[in-house]
């Protein structure tokens, strides 16, 4: 009986090792199998020309959604960092924020407007990622028919078609935003992940070479790689190289150490930049959000407050001095040992979901400073 038990244990061990090897070798393939739609791509009907005049087409706009983006977390270890009533408010400015992917279904390539699960998650993302922009006089965040997460995991043409569908909605929302706000108001553009992918296209197609470029106080294109060779020169604004610079682009992707960005790098290397060239191994823009500069290193003591979420991500508290930041030659942002922020860390120590919460208070200060510089320059 003992010998049979040992054989059974040995078989279980072999199966576990084999399973781990399968997961390691074919992780990308198994993930794609789980998330990439097998359904045929269905072309979405264009939205009505005045669709975004309807309040329901926005998660946030003046008079709607303040409970999401005006929320301000408390400090868990305040060291005198909370703003006081004496702190001056920044000049008026408007924010256009595009939320990241919240549609995880493989039943279709694009989310339907009104998809309950996708929009519930999108609201959670807005609370944690758009709230650093709460000092704005206006915040706008559109609903759009986002591409499903599986579109990132395939070379099928349907994936790009899904992104194109989503971008058309975002571009239409942006056009309405620009036409509606005060023409003298400075603009801050912001997005994360899929939202940043669409933000890059907006900058390239709607901002670059237009009078609108002069109104952009800053563009926070976070959680999506920007090629310094194939993308940045065609996006209409330079990279931010100083903390007191306005009219520039900031971008970063956060990893704890040891970092393995190979999956993202594989997608990046086979993608095509705005100049038509393969991004390949071209350098990726990395902004250090603790210093507001391109590249460089900053200690944890420079971190004014990391938003550490509750388990369900609907609440949280700021923790000062939580993580450092260092731009790595690979174009990723290293944050030291893995901080305990919850269960949504991706393989490779990828803190993608936490790109903005990691530097919540620094981002809030950065936005205020760049809008003030923009106003001074005017």
User: What is 28-49 written as a DSSP string?
Assistant: HHHHHHHHS--SPP-PPPPPPT
183-200 average pLDDT score: 98
Residue 302: both structure tokens together: 């420079």
> In this structure, are residues 174 and 206 in contact, taking their beta carbons and an 8 Å threshold?
yes
Say what the pLDDT of residue 43 is. Answer: 86
SS3 201: helix
Least confident range of 8-17, 65-74, 94-103, 191-200: 8-17
Do β-strands 187-192 and 94-98 pair in parallel, antiparallel, or remain unpaired?
Answer: parallel
> In this structure, are residues 253 and 355 in contact, taking their beta carbons and an 8 Å threshold?
yes
| Burial 282-299, CB ≥16 within 10 A → b, else e | bbbbbbbbbbbbbbeebe
For the chain, what is the mean pLDDT?
Answer: 89
Alpha-carbon dihedral 334, 338, 342, 347, rounded to 10 degrees: 70
CA pseudo-torsion sign 239, 241, 245, 250? positive
Q: Which secondary structure element, helix H or strand E, spans residue 276, and what is its range?
A: none
C-alpha span between 88 and 92 (Å, rounded):
12
Do β-strands 316-319 and 74-75 pair in parallel, antiparallel, or remain unpaired?
Answer: parallel
Say what the pLDDT of residue 35 is. Answer: 77
Nearest residue to 256 (alpha-carbon basis) of 349, 345, 354: 349
Say what the pLDDT of residue 378 is. Answer: 84
Q: Which secondary structure element, helix H or strand E, spans residue 217, and what is its range?
A: strand 216-222
pLDDT tier for residue 40 given thresholds of 50, 70 and 90: confident
Contacts of 278 (CB under 8 A, 6+ apart): 230, 269, 270, 271, 272
**Which is more confidently placed, 20 or 311?**
311
Percentage of residues of the chain with pLDDT beyond 70: 88
Q: Which secondary structure element, helix H or strand E, spans residue 271, and what is its range?
A: none
The per-residue pLDDT for range 308-331, each reduced to its tens digit, is 998 776 789 999 999 999 999 999
The per-residue pLDDT for range 333-375, each reduced to its tens digit, is 999 999 999 999 999 999 999 999 999 999 999 999 999 999 9
pTM summary value: 0.90
Output phi, psi for 297, to 5 deg: -130, 145
Write the DSSP symbol of residue 91: P
Alpha-carbon dihedral 226, 230, 233, 236, rounded to 10 degrees: -60
> In this structure, are residues 189 and 181 in contact, taking their beta carbons and an 8 Å threshold?
no
């Amino acid at each position: 009986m003992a010998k049979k038990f040992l054989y059974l244990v040995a078989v279980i061990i072999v199966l576990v090792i084999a399973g781990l090897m399968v997961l390691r070798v074919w992780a990308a393939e198994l993930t794609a199998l789980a998330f990439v739609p097998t359904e045929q791509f269905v072309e979405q009907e264009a939205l009505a020309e005045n669709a975004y005049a309807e309040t329901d087409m926005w998660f946030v706009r003046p008079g709607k959604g303040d409970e999401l983006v005006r929320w301000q977390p408390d400090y868990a270890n305040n060291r005198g960092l909370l703003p006081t009533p004496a702190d001056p408010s920044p000049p008026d400015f408007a924010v256009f924020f595009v939320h990241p992917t919240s549609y995880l279904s493989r039943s279709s390539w694009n989310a339907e407007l009104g998809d309950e699960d996708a929009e519930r998650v999108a609201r959670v993302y807005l609370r944690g990622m758009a709230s650093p922009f709460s000092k704005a006089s206006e915040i706008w965040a559109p609903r759009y028919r986002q591409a499903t997460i599986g579109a990132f995991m395939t070379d099928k043409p349907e994936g790009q078609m899904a992104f194109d569908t989503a971008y058309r909605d975002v571009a239409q929302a942006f056009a309405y935003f620009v036409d509606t706000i005060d023409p003298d108001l400075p603009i801050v553009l912001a997005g994360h992940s899929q939202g940043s992918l669409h933000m890059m296209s907006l900058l390239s197609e709607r901002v670059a070479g237009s009078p609108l470029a002069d109104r952009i106080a800053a563009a926070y294109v976070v959680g999506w790689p920007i090629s310094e060779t194939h993308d940045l020169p065609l996006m209409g604004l330079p990279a931010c190289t100083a903390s007191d610079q306005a009219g520039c682009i900031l971008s970063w992707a956060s990893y704890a150490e040891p970092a393995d960005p190979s999956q993202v790098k594989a997608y990046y290397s086979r993608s095509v930049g705005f100049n038509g060239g393969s991004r390949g191994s071209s350098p990726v823009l990395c902004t250090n959000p603790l210093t507001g500069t391109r590249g460089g290193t900053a200690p944890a003591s420079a971190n004014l407050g990391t938003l550490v979420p509750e388990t369900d991500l609907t609440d949280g508290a700021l923790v000062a001095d939580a993580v450092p930041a260092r731009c790595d030659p690979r174009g990723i942002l290293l944050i030291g040992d893995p901080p305990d922020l919850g269960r949504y860390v991706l393989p490779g120590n990828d803190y993608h979901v936490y790109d903005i919460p990691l530097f919540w208070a620094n981002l809030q200060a950065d936005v205020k400073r760049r809008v003030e510089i923009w106003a001074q320059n005017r």
